[in-house]
Structure 1
Amino acid sequence: MVLAGLVVVYVGPMLWAVSSSFKVRGDIFSFPPQLIPDPVTLENYATLLETQPFWRWMIMSSSVALIATIATVFFCSLAGFGFAKYDFKGKNVLFYTMFSSMALPFAVILVPLFVLVSIMGLSHPFIALIVPWVAPAFGIFMMRQYTEQSVPSELLDAARIDGCGEFKIFLSIVFPLLKPAVGALGVWSFLNSYNNLLWPLVIVAEPQFYTMPLGLQTLFAAEGRQYDLVMAGAVLATVPALIVFFLLRKHMVSGLTAGAVKS
């Protein structure tokens, strides 16, 4: 019964959103609520695509999320490898300081981050939406833990004896062994960037740089609250996220379950 209740809680809003995207605006909040639209209409989708720069929002969000994901996977894997397999002065202090930053709510660092980005000359929306998130503490922690469990130090020593440089060891030996964790981190990073609203709301001022959440938020905040267009946009906005999930689902499951069974 508990699991059935949780299914309703999580699946119910998604079904309602899909159903509402095919309803006229006046029927979305009808009582009693109807899951099956009557009548079914595609007018919401047509109006959204004709009157709003929806595809520009999607391209902007997908581009930012894709670049941020690639950068996050690379830098987090590299940092995790460094923390897991190298000893250097201040290693533990640096790691636990980085790890403790996960306890800070984003609202606490929002204004300082905005000021720092501006001072560094990174305030261009496309750059500012990517650079601050290429090395998240969660990603570094995740890759460090997986590297410690899955990459034998003896393998690295053998590569060094054969004359491999440290960066070549990472690219040729370590990174291929991290595929399950890379899949899990990739999905997490893409969704986190693609769905981000608060940071784009602060850093983006020009409409041509609006991301998907920001664009849909403008429809919701518009006079009359265009719920019909918001629902249609929300349904279409899930397509890139679903594509990434299905492409990386095997690696994601493997990465999330790594270490769950003791060998």
Structure 2
Amino acid sequence: MNPGGRLGLLARRCLLYATLAALLAAFTAPLLWALSGSFKPRGDIFGYPPRLLPDPATWHNYRTLLSDQPFGRWFLMSTVVALTATAVSVFVCALAGYGFAKFRFAGRRLLFGVMFSSLSIPFAVILVPLFVILVKTGLGSPWFALIVPWVAPAFGIFMMQQYIVQGVPDEVLEAARIDGCGEFRIFLRIVLPLLRPSLGALGVWTFLQSYNSFLWPLVLVSDSEQYTLPLGLQTLFRAENRQYDLVLAGAVLAVLPAVAVFVRLRRQLLEGLSTGAVKG
């Protein structure tokens, strides 16, 4: 390579790294500000000139949040609901995607078209009818009703169907049937292990959708003891004297489960993304 080409390559790399560094700074700055503000007294959060490091640092915000507010209940509610919704959603979506991908039955195209078209319907449109149905049937308990919207999302079913079509060979399924395996056993023993990368990606997406949900819990939950984290932090923000110190401390604690899920499923998530890129 001639010197001019090397200089051009070096310039492009420098530009790429500078762009990535700028994007990293833009994305991490709010997180660092929230983390720093959670250790500051309320009067210092909006002090001028702004200081990134708290001086002095204090645990008062965290102690007040955990002792004076039902934060533990909010945290437990959000985490249990999101984990349950994720587990149920991943299994149901994989099962439905397997049915659409590998079975031929009357009305399959129509059902798939109806399911796929539901992606264009905003959740706010079905919120009231879904709430009425749950209340009329006596299933309005928050521990159950908060999970319902995430049980079988159309996006998850479509994602699983596409991955199974591309990643699960018919020959493997036929060999298992010849060996005497039932369809459900084939799904559990053969299909699910092959879907690990896509299941990880879907699990991260479902967990974040359920964990960060605000509108559905706002309509469903009236008891402050059963609030999810988004609702609980909103009550602190809407207080007469906005408690920014407690909100920032709560936000820092609230992000921990999402980070833990991402770290736990990061390998499957990256494998799913790379597999989709290669097959696409």
TM-score by structure 2 length? 0.90
Mean Cα deviation higher: 186-195 or 116-125: 116-125
Q: Is the 8 A contact 2:40 2:55 kept in 1?
A: yes
* CA apart distance, 1:20: 0.8
1:102-181 equivalence runs, <5 A: 102-181=119-198
Q: Is the 8 A contact 1:149 1:259 kept in 2?
A: no
Q: Which amino acid aligns with 1:52?
A: Q
Q: Which amino acid aligns with 2:154?
A: A
Pairing 1:71–2:88 present: yes
Q: Is the 8 A contact 2:86 2:150 kept in 1?
A: no
Gaps of 5+ in 1: none
Pairing 1:60–2:84 present: no
CA displacement, residues 143-182 of structure 1 (integer Å, 9 cap, x when unaligned): 1111111110111111111111111111111111111111
Q: Which amino acid aligns with 2:193?
A: P
Q: Give the % identical residues.
A: 63
Whole-Å separation in 2 of the counterparts to 1:12 and 1:109: 36
* CA apart distance, 1:6: 2.7
Match in the other structure for 1:220: 237
Q: Which amino acid aligns with 1:143?
A: M
Q: Which amino acid aligns with 1:233?
A: G
Seen in structure 2, the aligned counterparts of structure 1 residues 238 and 158 have a Cα distance that, compared at 3 Å, is same
Choose from 18, 41, 45 the match for 1:24: 41
Whole-Å separation in 1 of the counterparts to 2:227 and 2:185: 39
Q: Which amino acid aligns with 1:190?
A: F
Whole-Å separation in 1 of the counterparts to 2:149 and 2:217: 12
Q: Is the 8 A contact 2:101 2:165 kept in 1?
A: yes
* CA apart distance, 1:2: 4.2
Seen in structure 2, the aligned counterparts of structure 1 residues 228 and 146 have a Cα distance that, compared at 3 Å, is same
Match in the other structure for 2:5: none
TM-score by structure 1 length? 0.95
Match in the other structure for 1:184: 201
Whole-Å separation in 1 of the counterparts to 2:131 and 2:29: 37
Match in the other structure for 2:217: 200
User: Matched residue pairs, number?
Assistant: 263
Q: Which amino acid aligns with 1:103?
A: S
Match in the other structure for 2:108: 91
* CA apart distance, 1:25: 0.8
Radius of gyration: which is bigger? 2
Gaps of 5+ in 2: 1-17
Whole-Å separation in 2 of the counterparts to 1:24 and 1:215: 21
SS of residue in 1 equivalent to 2:278: coil
Seen in structure 2, the aligned counterparts of structure 1 residues 9 and 97 have a Cα distance that, compared at 3 Å, is farther
